[in-house]
A = this chain, B = another copy of it.
């Protein structure tokens, strides 16, 4: 088989590990392919032990900026051939972390395109026929405080609605609790985590949300069925990566 013009996709895995697997699976499911051979080339490096927790870094500071390690992984992905890279972690797209990623990659001189997941979510919402105005957000407390969604969606005319403070604490635990959180127990997720997330979703809808962004890449693991209410940034990132790598292989919506 001759080398074609398709670009090679890179996945920064490990943020968290299940999110990397989920992104890769969604790249496969969104690709026009009837045989193995028609699928795109994807390289993933999942090296979680070297990437400090993004939420802890944003909330408490100190330690190495997780963006440094993510930048290192992007350079390793590029060395393995990757040309278009995605980072399946919402919190990693907070400005302080993205800045560290970008400075590392730019300093290296390596040419690699990084697809910005949150900007792609904004773009996807703009193109939604119903054009929702009020977006509920389920995310880690670090993602809320970094305002990454409201800073990108706000100027586009979207209002970002977040849960009440006590509900938000529970949402964070549904992701991070060492016993029942999705990061500790992802397949299947615990009934505690599922209950919290369903309750928080009801609250967001009561507060006026028209759509709910699953703003932590562990969350689509809890809501695997596609629904008109939930917006899955991992799915949007998967489609954006295919669009950049081989637009003719992107399945229609």
List chain B residues, Cβ under 8 A from A37. Answer: 48-49, 51-53
Judged by a CB distance under 8 angstroms, whether A24 is at the interface is yes
CB-based nearest B residue for A6: B49
Complex CA–CA separation, A52 to B53 (angstroms) = 40
Task: For the complex, count residues of A whose C-beta is within 8 A of B.
Answer: 44
Kindly name the residue among A13, A15, A33, A44 whose own CB sees the greatest number of chain B CB atoms within 10 A. A44
Task: Report which A residues bind B (CB closer than 8 A).
Answer: 1, 4, 13-18, 20-21, 24-25, 28-29, 33-39, 41-53, 76, 79-81, 178-179, 183-184, 186-187
Q: CB distance A21 to B24 under 8 Å?
A: yes
Complex CA–CA separation, A187 to B179 (angstroms) = 29
| 10 A-B residue pairings within 8 Å (CB atoms) | A20-B24, A21-B24, A28-B186, A34-B179, A38-B49, A39-B49, A44-B46, A76-B80, A76-B81, A80-B80
Q: With A46-B41, A47-B41, A76-B80 known to touch, is A178 a contact of B35 (CB < 8 Å)?
A: yes
Q: CB distance A25 to B21 under 8 Å?
A: yes
Q: CB distance B21 to A36 under 8 Å?
A: no
Task: Report, nearest first, the 5 A-B pairs whose CB atoms are least far apart.
Answer: A16-B36, A34-B178, A36-B48, A21-B25, A42-B46
Q: CB distance A35 to B47 under 8 Å?
A: no
